[in-house]
Amino acid sequence: DIDDIRMELGQSGYLKVIKTKNKGNIIKSSPHHYITSNGISIFVGKNNIQNESLTFKFSKKDYIWFHVKNIAGSHVILAHNNPNDKLIEIASMLAAFYSKASSSSNVPIDYTKVKNVKKMPHAKPGMVIYTSYNTAYVTPPKDINELNLTIKS
């Protein structure tokens, strides 16, 4: 995870990029992967580079994308194309938990299909715009274990 953050800061011009000879030894970190009790996968990016990769490279266009409204936070991908209200609530709670609003209540979470999320031109990684969205209001759990999800990675 630290290497991902260093890479992001280097790409943004905040850190000097130091080239190494051992490029093959770099292990890329992966997003959090949760599985609901009925076997549906939910992915949570841990940094801006993971957010962008998760949204634009990994996700299918009909998966559902979640993000806290107007506050910094993780991109959350629900690997399902027609979720019920319970799945939307769980993914929304993950988006709230992994955001700057994690200690707030009644947090607004926007969600839409991945096909409605676009990368902003010339913006830093993870910065997006989106259309045709809905908003859910949730209070994030105090502890992630309250959601009764299985952690895959």
What Å distances lie between residue 67 and 20, 25, 39, 50, CA to CA?
35, 32, 22, 14
Count of all residues that appear for the chain in the document: 153
Task: Give the model's pLDDT for residue 12.
Answer: 63
| Nearest alpha carbon to residue 2 among 28, 33, 25 | 28
Phi-psi region of 90 (alpha: psi -120 to 50; beta: other; left: phi over 0): alpha
| Nearest alpha carbon to residue 101 among 69, 76, 129 | 69
pTM to 2 decimal places? 0.82
Q: What is the mean pLDDT of each run of 10 residues along the chain (153 residues)?
A: 68 60 58 95 93 94 97 96 96 97 96 95 86 97 94 79
